[in-house]
Structure 1
């Protein structure tokens, strides 16, 4: 079996450090130590810590199974519920200690790191776009009147990310459990209230 490359080791170590400690609290020395690499080798693969963070965020976004939201074999609002249940399980696996990387970076990043901001915005906009499309499908199927799919999509994302962030701060499943059992269902019920058939 081929050995993982040093770039892969650094990327993995960077992801773990960013997720556990945050972007600004993580130094290149900590990343290379975790990767069992010399500090100087970092710059053989990445021009900066920001470059690594952009790659890590992109990888994380690609792992969230966004394709679930486009599965036409499942009723649109059901696929939304299944999607949020899936992404929440990844947080639950770590007892909510780590939180969602998209939310963690969003809470921390400033205008000093524009490429990270752009990457976060692109990931969140893509997510909201898929949710909006699924909500639009549901609205069309039920001849909804006066609905706002895009606002509902963002309410779901904001509710999930808020629960993930508070769960991380309190090391508790309660915020996410509340989102899944109350916040998300009530948001979708409000959306359904616009159905006419």
Structure 2
């Protein structure tokens, strides 16, 4: 009878460890210890730490896409309300973590994009894919007259995601939701305000 694969346990542990110690601060030993797996099992499943981090990032992005769908596909809300709903869902998750843990996509963008071309490329792909449902929702809001049409939906989606990442970074420093709430208040009274 073949041994069960420890890959999922290693990826789950890696997600938790990387959130706590970052990409550069995470060692193979840290991950395998957290997974209760022998170190050799890491190299059986991953050709490098970069490849491992890329799979952890993909796992995290799948969770993120689920949250995006939960908010942006809610047909009971207007498109503008769906955008707010996404930010509120994320705020709730950040609150549950005591405002000390942010977004792994943003964290790895800061920490690893400058030292790993493989991770930088994967992060660029993630941001391009992540932007798409936001651009679609913003476009719908523009067509219905909920949001001004001065900027292209893709530009506004990029602005939303990039600015929100900055608010999350500030939140981690302050350990309070003030930066998140300030961003939501200003963004929806300026860029995403209803036309008068």
Q: TM-score, length-normalised on structure 1?
A: 0.86
Give the secondary structure class of the aligned counterpart of 1:44. Answer: helix
Matching residue of 1:89: 92
Matching residue of 1:102: 105
Corresponding position: 1:57 with 2:57: yes
Corresponding position: 1:119 with 2:122: yes
Give the secondary structure class of the aligned counterpart of 2:190. Answer: helix
Structure 1: which 4+ aligned runs deviate by more than 6 Å? none
The one of 169, 173, 176 equivalent to 2:177 is 173
Superposition RMSD in Å: 2.1
Change beyond 3 A, Cα 1:48–1:145: closer
Equivalent-residue separation in structure 1 for 2:149 and 2:41 (angstroms): 58
Corresponding position: 1:69 with 2:72: yes
The one of 163, 167, 186 equivalent to 2:167 is 163
Give 1:73 shift: 3.9
Give the secondary structure class of the aligned counterpart of 1:37. Answer: coil
Matching residue of 2:156: 152
Give 1:93 shift: 0.9
Q: TM-score, length-normalised on structure 2?
A: 0.86
Superimposed CA distance per residue, residues 38-82 of structure 1 (whole angstroms, 9 cap, x where no aligned partner): 222211111111112111111111112222323444211111110
Give 1:171 shift: 2.0
Residue segments in structure 1 that go unaligned for 5+ positions in a row: none
